[in-house]
């Protein structure tokens, strides 16, 4: 957890919503200079903070509406801080809670150096990252349709389809596999949607690869040197990490990617782990997929995991491999060097 500890003359806490926002501005002595509800527009914000622009810092909680405010502050030369929603327990722990109280608490946390920070993703790559996340969402919808076809065959106790549903050239005979005309219509609908998704996703993936080459072609190709990391996983890693230098230590990166657990201890005794949901779920997914794909047609990697499985079990062995891949990616991006399989598989 990182706190914002810089001192300023004015501190602005905002409880931000889609159509309205509550502003609270404090001076360095903690006195309230402004406490006002207003419309969520750039004009209203700039007008409200105009008398306090001298050494002003603005903070909001990390919810989906922060993009425009971060960009506005950057354009206006105003310091901007993004509060980590899951760490800001002081906002949610009071007996009474409303927009006015929340805005004041954000400002107080900011002034006291106790506001836990989230990363303000730069504007240059942010929209592409969100487009990539949308692509992954659509791919999961496509996977649901593929699973529905398989499950429908099992539901009616029909024999195996005998074809690969995910391959476009093998789908023509699938509807005839279902004798009931109504069930067949349902399958035809699934296949039609899958075909539509295939066209959209193919074009989108090509566009995303071109965007990645424009943003950071070297890192994009560097990530593809990892066995099992293809075009999509390299895109996810590139855009979710953005700048590896924002992680001073490798353990901070692994924690952010949910590859290691935070330990709870007191008086020298360990009481389990916590914070499993704090971190980047997209990186967690990418490294989990990479660990499975790393083992395909990789005898050395399979032997490595087998040795781990004898000691820790299969599930734990894959988790260790995911974390090891995360550590390797961190070092690769830091040193700007390709993947080294011999060093990766060396016993430690």
90 has pLDDT over 80: no
* Structure tokens given for 326: 């995360």
Please indicate, yes or no, whether the overall pTM of this predicted structure exceeds 0.85.
Answer: yes
- Closest listed residue to residue 127, CA positions, set 10, 214, 221, 26: 214
Distances (CA, A) of 140 to 145, 148, 156, 292: 9, 12, 24, 18
* Structure tokens given for 68: 């425009």
What pLDDT digit, counting tens, does each position of 119-151 carry? Answer: 999 999 999 999 999 999 999 999 999 999 999
What pLDDT digit, counting tens, does each position of 67-87 carry? Answer: 999 999 999 999 999 999 888
Distance CA 230, CA 146 (A): 22
266 has pLDDT over 90: no
Sheet holding 115-118, edge to edge: 3-4, 115-118, 79-83, 56-61, 10-16, 20-27, 32-39
- Closest listed residue to residue 247, CA positions, set 260, 235, 234: 260
The two beta strands, 56-61 and 10-16, are parallel
């Amino acid at each position: 957890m990182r706190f914002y500890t810089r001192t300023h003359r004015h501190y602005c806490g905002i409880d931000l919503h889609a159509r309205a926002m509550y502003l609270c501005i404090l001076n360095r002595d903690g006195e309230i200079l402004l406490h006002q509800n207003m419309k969520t527009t750039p004009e209203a914000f700039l007008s409200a903070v105009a008398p306090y622009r001298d050494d002003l810092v603005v903070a909001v909680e990390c919810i989906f509406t922060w993009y425009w405010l971060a960009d506005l502050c950057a354009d206006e030369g105003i310091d901007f801080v993004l509060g980590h929603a899951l760490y800001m327990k002081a906002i949610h722990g009071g007996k009474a809670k409303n927009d006015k109280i929340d805005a004041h608490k954000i400002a107080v946390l900011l002034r006291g150096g106790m506001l836990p920070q989230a990363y303000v993703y730069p504007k240059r790559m942010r929209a592409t990252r969100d487009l990539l996340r949308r692509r992954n969402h659509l791919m999961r919808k496509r996977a649901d349709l593929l699973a529905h076809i398989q499950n429908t065959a099992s539901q009616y106790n029909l024999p195996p389809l005998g074809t690969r549903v995910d391959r476009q050239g093998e789908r023509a005979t699938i509807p005839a596999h279902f004798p009931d005309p109504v069930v067949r219509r349902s399958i035809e609908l699934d296949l039609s949607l899958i075909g539509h998704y295939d066209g959209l996703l193919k074009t989108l993936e090509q566009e995303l690869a071109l965007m990645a080459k424009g943003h950071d072609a070297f890192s994009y190709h560097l990530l593809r040197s990892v066995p099992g990391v293809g075009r999509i996983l390299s895109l996810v890693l590139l855009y979710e990490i953005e700048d590896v230098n924002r992680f001073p230590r490798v353990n901070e990166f692994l924690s952010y990617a949910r590859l290691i657990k935070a330990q709870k201890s007191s008086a020298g005794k360990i009481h389990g782990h916590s914070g499993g949901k704090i971190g980047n779920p997209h990186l967690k997914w990418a490294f989990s997929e990479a660990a499975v794909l790393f083992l395909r047609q990789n005898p050395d990697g399979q032997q490595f995991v087998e040795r781990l499985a004898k000691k820790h079990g299969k599930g734990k062995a894959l988790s260790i491999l995911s974390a090891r891949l995360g550590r390797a990616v961190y070092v690769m991006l830091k040193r700007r060097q390709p993947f080294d399989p011999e060093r990766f598989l060396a016993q430690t």
